[in-house]
Amino acid sequence: MERIESTKNPRIKQLMELQQKSSARRRTGLFVVEGRRELDHCLQAGYQADTLFVCPQLYGDGPLPQAAHTLELSPQLYERVAYRGTTEGVIAQVRSRSLRLADIAPAATGRAPLFVVLEGVEKPGNLGAVLRSADAAGVDAVVVCDPLTDLYNPNLIRSSLGAIFTVPTVACPSEECIAFLQAHGVQILTAQLQDSLPYYDTPMLQATAIVMGTESTGLSPQWRQAADRHIRIPMLGRLDSLNVSVSAAILMFEAVRQRQSQG
């Protein structure tokens, strides 16, 4: 195993560039996964590790995941390149891949799919939190429309705890998503304050897409017009909005509640 001691090493320079720049991730087709748990989820989902950066003193016992290249880092160098210190001594450069809407088309299984659609969400931490809730709720897929952050942003991967790999996630324009949902008979529920009904009065037993926008501007007119129903979470205090990840979790688990109550 080759050992690296300096941040001036070309391998380390590339690693840090991939951590910091979406343009580098797009150009190389690589992204960074940090930590055993996140990397396990990633590899179990079928991704391929290109390069492992391992600190043996932190990694401890156990076999290393398979990768094309494996490099050893000193504790001092690992501390400099790691986003956080509790990552069990392993960072990986992984080959990216992209899902398409066709990949998440409802299967003829008799089960009504549940999708979550996010329009224009720009904070990686919010998207990561939504993905964690989507994993917990058994959501079939998350669609990120008109994304303002790339799906392999390290902050998104970290905040999702690896759910970006366990929940099928697609990025596409809103127009494509609307056409896809309508073509497959998926009811569109847009979360909005105007002209809406309480979410708990809205049936979610059929194939359903819960659509949410940004906290600052909400959903665009094209989504409001495409909606089959408009839903809202009652706000009983002085503020008129919740964090998008909190709102998404409430609506996802209402769908879970309705479906489980139907046995």
Residues 106, 81 share a domain: no
Count of domains observed in the chain: 2
Last residue of a domain, one of 29, 60, 95: 95
- Answer for the pair 113, 85: CB distance below 8 angstroms, yes or no: no
- Answer for the pair 187, 228: CB distance below 8 angstroms, yes or no: yes
The predicted-structure confidence for 124-158, as pLDDT tens digits, reads as follows 999 999 999 999 999 999 999 998 889 999 999 99
d(CA 256, CA 262): 10
Is 207's pLDDT higher than 80? Answer: yes
Share of the chain above pLDDT 90, in %: 76
The phi-psi region of residue 46 (left if phi > 0; otherwise alpha if psi is between -120 and 50; otherwise beta) is: left
d(CA 155, CA 257): 31
Residues 201, 134 share a domain: yes
- Answer for the pair 26, 33: CB distance below 8 angstroms, yes or no: no
Residues 110, 52 share a domain: no
Residues 78, 117 share a domain: no
CATH number at residue 238: 3.40.1280.10
The predicted-structure confidence for 31-70, as pLDDT tens digits, reads as follows 999 988 899 999 999 999 999 999 999 998 888 998 999 9
Last residue of a domain, one of 75, 95, 115: 95
Last residue of a domain, one of 95, 130, 153: 95
Residues 114, 240 share a domain: yes
Residue 254 φ then ψ, to 5°: -70, -40
pTM listed for this prediction: 0.92
What value does the mean pLDDT take over residues 164-187? 96
Is 86's pLDDT higher than 70? Answer: no
CATH number at residue 71: 3.30.1330.30
Angle at 124 between CA 37 and CA 208, to 5 degrees: 90
Residues 126, 33 share a domain: no
Residues 161, 52 share a domain: no
